[in-house]
């Protein structure tokens, strides 16, 4: 919906061309100036180049943007040399570092006397009725958002502002690639909004088609492990509230046998998954900051004609979903590009 609302007003402009079935191979440089991109058609295998009259703008996300910079010769010099990148354009140690994300800890509860999507999706009749309802009325389970309930909370009384976010679904499963459980279930996912753990994205080959390593380093700090343990304890208190009593909730994951900080932190890692909010791998900062990749105008340090405009530029993750902040970055970045162009 958002994509359509942004695209439709401008899709007939003669200076806009959207290419699909095309992969970027690398950024083209003349010295330290970005002058275009090299592309490959996934249908024909043809390799071709597009030259930029003014700037190249990367908006490929917290994994794609640092990976593309690295294979193009911008990143930690020693890493790029060991991975076979032929030309070092700019040694920027921060490219691909500072990766962080909201880890959702998926506590699952078995319910009694409740109808959840588990029963409907595990029934042929239920599946047929859900499909029919959507086909006729565009309503029902197939029209729902990923989560049906959300809440912000404090992990401890000392937290000045909410540092936890809940996403609750009337369904349960072992993992997203597994079928729904055969029993009535509820998933109460909770995430630490301000994680202190930091990971990285690093190229494994000079060929962009070879996936990079993505190491989020979830729960690698004492603070994050403590918040994880406290978040599960809070979830238990919520599920023990009188309003849930008619449904006799029984903890399925992680399991009531886990009670210590150490046990709960470990199990948080076992039942936790990404909530798809990665940020920080091309973070903003001053040129003297060795970990910074872009300046306050989103221009890549040490080169000309190149900007990064996506969630990778965030120094720290926002205390909530990253979609709206990413849109704000795009809107602000577009304004900066126009302002700087007029200034030249």
Rounded to 5 degrees, what angle do the CA atoms 118, 120, 122 make? 65
Catalytic, 167? Answer no
The DSSP 8-state label assigned to residue 188 in this structure reads: E
Q: Could you tell me if 29 and 35 are in contact, meaning their C-beta atoms sit under 8 angstroms apart? A: yes
Q: Could you tell me if 282 and 95 are in contact, meaning their C-beta atoms sit under 8 angstroms apart? A: yes
- Give the residues across from 178 on adjacent strands: none
Rounded-to-integer distance, Cα 47 and Cα 97, Å: 30
Which residues contact residue 111 at a Cβ distance below 8 angstroms, ignoring those fewer than 6 apart?
Answer: 183, 184, 185, 186, 247, 248, 249, 250
From the candidates 167, 252, 277, 301, which is the catalytic residue? 277
Distances (CA, A) of 195 to 99, 167, 317: 11, 17, 8
- Active-site residues, by number, are 277
């Amino acid at each position: 919906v958002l994509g359509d609302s942004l695209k439709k007003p401008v899709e007939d402009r003669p200076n806009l061309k959207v290419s699909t079935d095309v992969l970027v191979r690398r950024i083209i440089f003349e010295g330290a100036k970005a002058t275009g991109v090299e592309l490959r058609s996934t249908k024909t295998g043809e390799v071709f180049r597009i030259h930029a009259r003014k700037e190249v703008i990367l908006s490929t996300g917290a994994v794609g943007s640092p990976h593309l910079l690295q294979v193009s010769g911008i990143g930690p010099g020693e890493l790029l040399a060991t991975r076979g990148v032929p030309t070092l354009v700019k040694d920027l140690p921060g490219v691909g570092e500072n990766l962080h994300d909201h880890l959702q800890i998926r506590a699952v509860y078995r319910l009694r006397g409740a109808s959840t999507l588990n029963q409907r999706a595990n029934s042929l009749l239920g599946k047929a009725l859900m499909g029919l309802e959507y086909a006729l009325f565009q309503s029902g389970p197939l029209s729902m958002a990923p989560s049906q309930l959300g809440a912000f909370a404090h992990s401890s009384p000392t937290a000045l502002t909410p540092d936890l976010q809940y996403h609750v679904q009337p369904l349960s499963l072992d993992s997203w690639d597994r079928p729904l459980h055969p029993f009535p279930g509820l998933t109460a996912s909770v995430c630490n909004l301000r994680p202190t753990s930091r990971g990285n994205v690093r190229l494994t080959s000079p060929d962009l088609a070879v996936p990079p390593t993505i190491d989020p380093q979830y729960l690698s700090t004492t603070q994050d492990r403590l918040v994880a343990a406290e978040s599960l304890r809070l979830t238990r208190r919520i599920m023990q509230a009188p309003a849930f009593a008619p449904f006799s909730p029984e903890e399925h994951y992680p399991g009531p046998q886990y009670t210590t900080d150490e046990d709960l932190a470990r199990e948080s890692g076992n039942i936790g998954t990404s909530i798809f909010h990665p940020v920080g791998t091309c973070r903003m900062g001053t040129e003297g900051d060795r970990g910074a990749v872009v300046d306050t105008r989103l221009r890549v340090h040490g080169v000309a004609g190149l900007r990064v405009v996506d969630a990778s530029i965030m120094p720290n993750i926002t205390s909530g979903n990253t979609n709206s902040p990413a849109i704000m970055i795009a809107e602000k970045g577009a304004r900066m590009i126009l302002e700087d162009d007029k200034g030249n």
